[in-house]
Structure 1
């Protein structure tokens, strides 16, 4: 047993003969001395364990342990140690020092900055927005938060989400008196809210639900285990499936003042204000749930066929609505917008599989793939209309899959004896249930049971339930179809939103009425400003004029044209006329100022490899290229058989950039004309080190603030796998400007990190006292080398893909890493930072009053619908050609440089015009687009990485026992500084 005791210790400080400080520790038995620096920080910890006392001395940051033996004979009769002699006198040539504790270094916690002012530049225009003003009259009231615990009659907790609302609805109906007639808002899981308190802080209820048909809801095993449910099985399971008893415990958790909403509108946000707004949003979700809607975060979707759009592959686009309460400069508002989610095509399972796999009939289905697709989907079975969750497929066809059928004995004496027989699923349904099966005999059965208790149904008796989300990534064809079928012109969207507000009739919602909430039916009008487009320059100092956010290179040459030499063409596509393509490319290149030499050769893929795996096809093509070329090529033009989702793309890019250091351009030509080839040359020129057009202000140079001092511009983004892929590494990409004062040239650095992690963790990665292997070191050194050996005095960071709840992490995790990387290079270097987050996935839209057109490109809004305290603004830099323009929402989290609102908005606007791949202004600043391109392109490397390489990586473990993330293959030195991602 360990105990603590006070042990007499004498501490003597003096100077030894060698001139170093000596600290001595003495007990009556032992004396020890150690040499220390005068700046020593001493910490004495005394602990007695059995007969040993241990003293810990903290010298700087290195602990040293000294064991001091204690002899019981040295203690007096009552167990106390004997008294120590007085300390020796201090030598005359020594000045005693006073022990001073080291001051605690307070960690700086950054929060988003407050708005400094509004912009004034540009032509003022009236704008309507889909925010509807909200009045709250009951500001002195309180929300009461209660914790909800649901359990079955036997005490098992209810873990299904779907049943919670049904249970609480039954509580409301059955126990209205016990609840004092209180309306409540329930989040579907563990929280319930009321306006004012319930009669008691803890309430317990018991309710019975009939017709709990979904296995997702009731948490039990599926009926008829070890086979398929027969009549006696269904009777035996009728009670637990047709009625079930639930216990409900409601306990007081917290009290939330509604005044917190008013405080938030004054810029005084707190945890209470966030909770109060969350309650209002939960009320909206509950309102939608009562109507049987599918709820996806703050969006809801009605089960109405007219809202469905077939996008192919057994997938439907389901149109619904987003609604959320927002605090703004003009008060509380309700933001309503059209929203779309993907759902599984409801109806017969066989029809879905035929569409999903694009086959002619169910006999052509790939059942291994079908098993993965169907798992966890819900089906109803005919003719009972019971609902189940699919757990798998049978191993054998319906006519061969056996199960044990339990029946009452025919010759029994009535005492309930049963006999068991082995029958096939097909035989059971045809002969015992008299159900005609047309095509299921040779197909697998649907399994809705558990691994040890399977329950089988013939596939033609199963139909998929409506409103089941499809979470896999869409194909290129599906995306194009979705865009085509879901686009809405501004006036159409306004009409749909107005109708949605009327149909939902929020003013009649009892909980909103008890809060004193009323919602205006009018779109909020704000003041917009249209910024003039920046001036662009091309070759020979010529001006490039923009109109409606667009321009063209007709009769213009690129401002800095490269030379395409030592190049070749590789063709994986059998249908392209390569010779004509090369001839036309050389002709158009000359028109744009690019000197295009004749290619070394054209390499056609050998037909025998066209059905080989992608990696094999790429390897064989490279073997041929290397064997026939006189030396390594500088550039390869690659013709693919299909666009975007071609499985050759990833291996081809990796082979070129990582293994050989060759710049490559992929294309899948459909209709080749001069416009197509000009767009192709925009990318090739940028990749090979050229520039197509630049801002006139970067040539002058006259960009406010940026041109005065060396300024580094960063774009940061993280790309994740699709929602269904939880084990695919996330890809973090950072691009940085180079050759200051240019703001048009960038290079990228890309790393892998743990799946679904949004914060970039490799910006600073110290591996030793002299080595940092982080992203920022690489980019900072490149800026220094490419900008005339000047370190950036200012660093402007554009961050994409983070939500408002992650702003503090950007400021205190990612920014801290960047600062550490700077200090590691030079501890006296302290650049000033600007941190801006760009959000595209929001639901604020803008409309021109009395006009069918989108808002003009360059429209900026920083009033009325922006944050009541924080610094943010909306910018529509681009011309919305399809549907309704989606503005980018910029949040300025930090500005140590001191930009005026006008200068910062102008810089952001200008950076939407330097995207080298396009002849239009883009919706978000170019550095963010480049970061997204780099992350997406290199993400293809990981997607198609050879299994033998990744398996060893995944076998290892990282911090906390998580699987190790395979590292991103390094780019070759000669392509590392290029805009390979263009």
Structure 2
């Protein structure tokens, strides 16, 4: 993942495309066993920073994106968005509606559904028993049905009311049960075996009853009833159509007691809100929805075949446990009831589309000079950096209004009101400088060049105790770096305090008499901060309130910093950690920050969890990182192991265990192992191994491991210590988190909103804000209750396919025919896993059939195949090169795709595959795990169809509603992202990625990438933007008349700097094309790395997609809003925070919010909305994938006791620059 998200990160992996596992990277997983396997495979991006679900994890620490969302995810294992830990299965033993439906409607004497929280009822209408199919599923171990004969799971018929309640599981894993229905007739024999269609899409059986009889049956006799569903001609089965008999309902019910019909029909399984709906222009008046979310798209039938009042019985959700269903039929519906997957058509399709959609919008260029410029034939114009247009000042815009559309709801947010009624008129700020004094004992080994934050904190605290009288009893708080604040002015404006001794820095006294290490501290008055500026700011946005906010944040955090382990504005307890692998542990804490709300001051508090190194022997951390068998190998460690070891150990603080001493930071490792590193001790030349044996009588157990340098970096002034003689100091955050660690972290941190809110409130109480003496001294009082605000839920757009359109109420939908399918004529398969050719061919057959139903036509049903067994010992790069060469000789057209079947999740192999295809060969690749090939599941094949179609230039779906501004005039939508190396990745460069839309539908994007020094701005942005704008013209034959620019991952403190720099780059790019071209720009910053969480007041569901917050907790002057773009399947969903910094297009808040929300539905890699707008999502994918293009050529340079690495960045191959290779 990246330093942004999960949510997150890790940063160099596109896990969704690789594994088809990330929750934003494919359709919902279908089987419980998939879910179990997928615990170890997730999307690192939204998983984390996408922060979408696992957002209690401190994503920023580990470069993991939205992860929860999934990425979510995550981060918040968020991107990030999105990693579904339990899958979307409908199987036994999970939660919600997960199992078969059963039980007749005429069973007055028997009892149905039990064993695991069953629906036990003796009432025909199931009115009184509400403890049914709840958190443990809707099981089907039967008691009896009418008298004592019970169910016959084998479908017997007979006079005793035998019943076949056998549910089935289709090949996609979507379990759809046979529901028991009582029917007229004597014996009531019933066979409710739903079946699986060829594509695995099955929702309900189709009743074909005659006059009170069965399938083509007759009235009278045994009246066997067969409710077998069918497959339509296209293979897409959505719901059975009633062909019931006399007076029957949608499934041929007896009489009108529970007939379907539109007036009061009974919709079994997909309820939602209690409200009157319009269904295909008919009123559905007396229906009560239960449990499964607002599934107005899914009706049992639409023919008027019965009367009476029907109740909608909810069947739980895909979530963990069920909320309570209401009214008749009651039982426990799904708490996660809005997680239903199957949607039914709500409108017409678009038909097949071609072109960009701008053919009839705007005007083509006819001027020959302009054509030369816009085709690029005129070359790049030279632009004077001092051009007046580039020097224009850019100001951050103000909020024009707030959004109005959508359903208004009340929510609770993790903010607390802050009162300053008793605050002093002024707060005084002093600058602090902490320096070392001369240390006689350790002067020979030198001192580290700078003091750590933790040491500075200890020195300041020691000085305040040691010189308490000098401060006159005034309460003092500090930021542990360079500032202290006091509520009243000190007696002096500048003073130096010497001979300060931090308590725990006391080494053994030496002969020289120096018995401790001492420091000096100089304090100087900087400014007096007027607290009244806050009130002035509410009226005038030009007032600078940053000084007072900084002061109040230091005051609010001071008590936590004294009691807990402090990292930034987060505080962690080292008690009761959760052990992880490799010398690490997960510790819990909270984040807090003072923020400006709508004309009020607020404190944001959020639960956090972060990985720390476990205090103890350093070997416990080192051994898992290297091959355990190699530590006693006389050859020592490989260079790769040494680089990995140094990246983790660098700056880690350790304490020697062979003698008493203080903490020292590691600055590098030795080139040679301990038994080969020579030192001169009193004129004697010996190895470090011999030195410790002679001096300390210590025999090293691991003499072939390198040493760590805890002295100076200069050659000859190092202080070498054996790794086994060092202990890890407590309170240090970990830099290396493995996949195994992450799986455990996700398991520990995934919490539903209500549980998270409860834990957050407990953290506030334990933090002691109510009795905080520091806050009291500054007149600050924090309320103990969550802030309640108004939010809105915007209506989702209608997703349009070629043959149908659907309106997904939960941000997810089923696949139909693509609006623009492509043909795959020439492709190959490279198998590096232990799968047979027969298994691969079976999988390809399934893929070809399913892809064809979606309009992805795979003409080549027998692709060229290379198996590793044919070329033993040959590297993947050579196998792919041979495959491409052979494809070129097949005379089936240009090679289009190489699919690579991998055995497991190998970082190195995945990097090699993408590096080879993207930069060397210039051909699209598709990686897939061997287990998915063996299973050949339709769900995997459907997801592959999505990705392959988009990569080859097709369009999967479009939105029926117009995109604000984008649909009415030629508009280019740009997403930009800078992915930084996470801690421990050494000197690797940052990766800048920019993507841009190429059509009116926001369906096609292309990307450009560049490597640069670690900086947040994008160095080559003007050239990248020029290239993308010209590509827009090439694809649309229109100049962009408007620009929407989404910039990801900018800290609030850098808003103005980034705005000025990148607006200047945009204007320069425009002038590099044509001197008079200057379209209006809307500049929006996207941030998923925040700590805002919302929860409903009365239930434990996540916020619905489309929920937007733009009042209450947001600054009334700033043009920003929080938006939930996706449906988080687990944990607490994390909204994206969008801030409009500049808006030359003069868009309303409503239009920008709708545009941003609708763009979450245009992601081409999955059949669901994603956590953030598609251009941002794509930019993250591109930057993560581009990190694989770094070709690390490392060489040993131990002049300073450390490795130096040189990184060559390979450019994207020309063949792929106009494709969505990153999907």
Same fold (TM over 0.5): yes
Query: In the alignment, does 2:1222 pair up with 1:981?
Result: yes
User: What is the alpha-carbon distance in structure 2 between the residues aligned to residue 907 and residue 786 of structure 1?
Assistant: 22
Q: Compared with structure 1, are the counterparts of its residues 393 and 569 closer, same or farther at alpha carbon in structure 2 (3 Å cutoff)?
A: closer
- Give the 5 Å matches for 1:757-906: 757-764=1015-1022, 774-787=1023-1036, 789-906=1037-1154
- Give the 5 Å matches for 1:722-761: 722-725=982-985, 727-740=987-1000, 742-752=1001-1011, 754-761=1012-1019
Query: In the alignment, does 2:856 pair up with 1:587?
Result: no
Q: Compared with structure 1, are the counterparts of its residues 441 and 707 closer, same or farther at alpha carbon in structure 2 (3 Å cutoff)?
A: closer
Partner of 1:297: 568
User: What is the alpha-carbon distance in structure 1 between the residues aligned to residue 984 and residue 668 of structure 2?
Assistant: 17
Q: Pairwise CA RMSD of aligned residues?
A: 3.5
Alignment deviations for residues 276-335 of structure 1 (CA, whole Å, 9 cap, x no partner)? 111222234432221141x3222222222x24451x344433332111100110411010
- Give the 5 Å matches for 1:603-618: 603-605=866-868, 610=873
- Give the 5 Å matches for 1:920-935: 920-935=1168-1183
User: What is the alpha-carbon distance in structure 1 between the residues aligned to residue 1091 and residue 983 of structure 2?
Assistant: 21
Query: In the alignment, does 2:802 pair up with 1:539?
Result: yes
Work out which of the residue numbers 679, 685, 688 in structure 1 matches 2:943: 679
Query: In the alignment, does 2:433 pair up with 1:149?
Result: yes
Q: What SS is found at the alignment partner of 2:814?
A: coil
CA contact (8 A) 2:833 2:930 kept: no
User: What is the alpha-carbon distance in structure 2 between the residues aligned to residue 725 and residue 438 of structure 1?
Assistant: 30
Partner of 1:563: 823
- CA apart distance, 1:936: 1.8
Q: What SS is found at the alignment partner of 1:125?
A: strand
TM-score by structure 2 length? 0.62
- Give the 5 Å matches for 1:705-716: 705-716=965-976
Partner of 1:188: 480
Query: In the alignment, does 2:783 pair up with 1:520?
Result: yes
CA contact (8 A) 2:866 2:879 kept: no
User: What is the alpha-carbon distance in structure 2 between the residues aligned to residue 360 and residue 552 of structure 1?
Assistant: 50
- CA apart distance, 1:881: 1.1
CA contact (8 A) 2:632 2:702 kept: no
Query: In the alignment, does 2:381 pair up with 1:117?
Result: no
Q: Compared with structure 1, are the counterparts of its residues 391 and 751 closer, same or farther at alpha carbon in structure 2 (3 Å cutoff)?
A: closer
CA contact (8 A) 2:424 2:778 kept: no
Aligned pairs, number: 810
User: What is the alpha-carbon distance in structure 2 between the residues aligned to residue 593 and residue 356 of structure 1?
Assistant: 48
- CA apart distance, 1:626: 5.8
CA contact (8 A) 1:309 1:485 kept: no
User: What is the alpha-carbon distance in structure 1 between the residues aligned to residue 1217 and residue 938 of structure 2?
Assistant: 31
CA contact (8 A) 1:139 1:259 kept: no
User: What is the alpha-carbon distance in structure 2 between the residues aligned to residue 625 and residue 690 of structure 1?
Assistant: 22
Q: Compared with structure 1, are the counterparts of its residues 260 and 239 closer, same or farther at alpha carbon in structure 2 (3 Å cutoff)?
A: farther
- CA apart distance, 1:513: 1.4
- CA apart distance, 1:690: 1.2
Q: What SS is found at the alignment partner of 2:1222?
A: coil
User: What is the alpha-carbon distance in structure 2 between the residues aligned to residue 968 and residue 440 of structure 1?
Assistant: 40
Q: What SS is found at the alignment partner of 1:243?
A: coil
Query: In the alignment, does 2:420 pair up with 1:131?
Result: no
Q: What SS is found at the alignment partner of 1:511?
A: helix
User: What is the alpha-carbon distance in structure 2 between the residues aligned to residue 715 and residue 393 of structure 1?
Assistant: 41
Q: What SS is found at the alignment partner of 1:924?
A: coil
CA contact (8 A) 1:750 1:968 kept: no
Query: In the alignment, does 2:1185 pair up with 1:937?
Result: yes
Q: Compared with structure 1, are the counterparts of its residues 668 and 248 closer, same or farther at alpha carbon in structure 2 (3 Å cutoff)?
A: same
Alignment deviations for residues 132-172 of structure 1 (CA, whole Å, 9 cap, x no partner)? 00001245521212122233444999744333222222322
- CA apart distance, 1:199: 0.1
User: What is the alpha-carbon distance in structure 2 between the residues aligned to residue 351 and residue 629 of structure 1?
Assistant: 58
- Give the 5 Å matches for 1:648-727: 648-671=909-932, 672-697=936-961, 702-725=962-985, 727=987
User: What is the alpha-carbon distance in structure 1 between the residues aligned to residue 388 and residue 938 of structure 2?
Assistant: 67
- CA apart distance, 1:446: 5.2
- CA apart distance, 1:532: 1.3
- Give the 5 Å matches for 1:616-655: 619=881, 632-643=894-905, 646-655=907-916
User: What is the alpha-carbon distance in structure 2 between the residues aligned to residue 105 and residue 445 of structure 1?
Assistant: 58
Q: Which has the higher strand share?
A: 1
Q: What SS is found at the alignment partner of 2:480?
A: coil
User: What is the alpha-carbon distance in structure 2 between the residues aligned to residue 261 and residue 151 of structure 1?
Assistant: 35
Partner of 1:530: 793
CA contact (8 A) 1:171 1:207 kept: no
Q: Compared with structure 1, are the counterparts of its residues 842 and 567 closer, same or farther at alpha carbon in structure 2 (3 Å cutoff)?
A: same
Q: What SS is found at the alignment partner of 2:501?
A: strand
User: What is the alpha-carbon distance in structure 2 between the residues aligned to residue 160 and residue 679 of structure 1?
Assistant: 49
User: What is the alpha-carbon distance in structure 2 between the residues aligned to residue 642 and residue 307 of structure 1?
Assistant: 31
User: What is the alpha-carbon distance in structure 2 between the residues aligned to residue 245 and residue 723 of structure 1?
Assistant: 31
Alignment deviations for residues 647-688 of structure 1 (CA, whole Å, 9 cap, x no partner)? 233443344344443222222243341101111111001011
Q: Compared with structure 1, are the counterparts of its residues 967 and 432 closer, same or farther at alpha carbon in structure 2 (3 Å cutoff)?
A: closer
User: What is the alpha-carbon distance in structure 1 between the residues aligned to residue 994 and residue 586 of structure 2?
Assistant: 33
Partner of 2:73: none
Alignment deviations for residues 789-823 of structure 1 (CA, whole Å, 9 cap, x no partner)? 22122111111111122222333221222123223
CA contact (8 A) 2:674 2:706 kept: yes
CA contact (8 A) 1:152 1:158 kept: no
CA contact (8 A) 1:660 1:972 kept: no
- Larger Rg, first or second structure (1 or 2): 1
Partner of 1:971: 1213
TM-score by structure 1 length? 0.76
User: What is the alpha-carbon distance in structure 2 between the residues aligned to residue 722 and residue 609 of structure 1?
Assistant: 36
CA contact (8 A) 2:1107 2:1124 kept: yes
Q: Compared with structure 1, are the counterparts of its residues 465 and 268 closer, same or farther at alpha carbon in structure 2 (3 Å cutoff)?
A: same
Say which is worse superposed, 686-695 or 569-578, in terms of deviation: 569-578
CA contact (8 A) 2:577 2:585 kept: no
Q: Compared with structure 1, are the counterparts of its residues 400 and 735 closer, same or farther at alpha carbon in structure 2 (3 Å cutoff)?
A: closer
Structure 2 stretches lacking a partner, 5+ long? 1-382, 440-446, 1198-1204
User: What is the alpha-carbon distance in structure 1 between the residues aligned to residue 680 and residue 695 of structure 2?
Assistant: 13
CA contact (8 A) 2:887 2:895 kept: no
- CA apart distance, 1:125: 0.9
- Give the 5 Å matches for 1:448-467: 448-450=710-712, 452=716, 455=719, 459-467=723-731
CA contact (8 A) 2:411 2:1094 kept: yes
- CA apart distance, 1:522: 0.6
Q: Compared with structure 1, are the counterparts of its residues 290 and 881 closer, same or farther at alpha carbon in structure 2 (3 Å cutoff)?
A: same
Query: In the alignment, does 2:551 pair up with 1:279?
Result: yes
CA contact (8 A) 1:618 1:648 kept: no
